[in-house]
Structure 1
């Protein structure tokens, strides 16, 4: 039986088993250069296919309810901005230019938007209308979401979940008690998953900032966007914020990096 002090070392080794260190994007002007651990048996193509199925279900449901926007002014606006941003993804990963990109707008009061694995983008009209977003601010949201897709943060999170599951199964096999496993799993969650979640958000902020700038959208809008988002929530943050944890340093980090991408913005205008 493993001694208590050795459990954390065992789980760390088991969690990383079957993982490979990769960097899914180039660093860009903003300098995102973190090695990511991906489960080798969980490919990019598999994750993209899984998400595409979920995405199509959401789009089909919206269509059946008559809330899928096709040629409305807001849909045309979102598609125009998306086209300019997608044209710049090759700066971070050339293969993403060949993804099967798709953009849909859903008429809903939700303050939400998403760009999932493989380039599937959904925008909700509530986000644009309730926050009175400018084109620059829409580009900031979309750039942030596209960055998550480019960096494969979803696949990375799934890889970590597989690692925890693997460690649990191996730990059970060698006789670690349930109480010790629960405590160890909490350690994995708080020492690995949550810090990386904040790291992923920072990466999406910075890459999104650069994508918007390259596409000719004012990167300063990223600051006003998050200020609007925070103000809209009050005591209950918008749904978008529930999966995008905020921190006091977010605005500061954006402001510090705006000078790095300003030359790209001026060139892209």
Structure 2
């Protein structure tokens, strides 16, 4: 009985790569299995819950600046990646949170923490952050991460069944869980961050924000953030690695920026 179940599970797992193989806007292959409508609903629900728990900024000047930058970035993302499936409308909120953070969610939700504006000191630096976050949505990174996590859990379940009753089976599952985290989850997260950095650079340049400010932003982040864990144990690339990758793509971004119409979100 158990052998038949295992064979059936193995067969189902073998079909997974055929079920949702797609490409990100940069051409990287990815596996996404969660329906877009479900991802959008999850994003909307998470945003609504956050709004209920977290105070929203009433600072009119801050809201104008964030709304302006977000509007220009979203329009540029649609123009730069016209084949990507982006939400039709976006809701933007500034949360009274001192941490230097921002996020974008499936379903068209953008959140900016007020603390980010102490690190992203110019509209262009803010555009680098929002462009990065919108790129995560545009490249369907949330769906890819969720699909990957579900796949790891399925494999660990299979290993647990195979090792049932054998000495060291639990230790094997723990070791594989750690191996999956270091060998799959973390590298995938870093790949997503690196892809979002480069897509965000192209988006901010298309919007008319100086892409060189992305490097200034990460230098500000490095100054504000203190030490980081070793890169191979982090879900994000080290600040120095990010800056180097951005600088390598800067020439093309600057050419795009020079051809774009200037934008003013300082008011």
TM-score by length of 2: 0.82
| Distance in 2, Cα, partners of 1:227 & 1:263 | 23
- Residue 99 (structure 1) aligned to one of 71, 88, 96: 88
| 1:1-269 correspondence to structure 2 within 5 Å | 17-19=15-17, 20-25=20-25, 27=26, 33-38=27-32, 40=33, 42-62=34-54, 67-69=55-57, 72-90=60-78, 91-94=80-83, 96-128=85-117, 130-131=118-119, 133-175=121-163, 177-235=169-227, 244-269=236-261
- Aligned residue pair count: 242
| Distance in 2, Cα, partners of 1:94 & 1:24 | 10
| Distance in 1, Cα, partners of 2:253 & 2:93 | 28
| Distance in 2, Cα, partners of 1:70 & 1:201 | 31
Alpha carbon RMSD of aligned pairs, Å?
2.5
Partner SS state of residue 211, structure 2: coil
1:132 to 1:165, Cα distance in 2 relative to 1, 3 A:
closer
Contact in 2 for aligned 1:212/1:218 (Cα 8 Å): yes
> Which 5+ residue runs of structure 2 have no aligned equivalent?
1-8, 262-267
> Which 5+ residue runs of structure 1 have no aligned equivalent?
1-10, 28-32
Q: CA shift at 1:243, angstroms?
A: 6.2
| Distance in 1, Cα, partners of 2:223 & 2:144 | 31
Contact in 2 for aligned 1:14/1:166 (Cα 8 Å): no
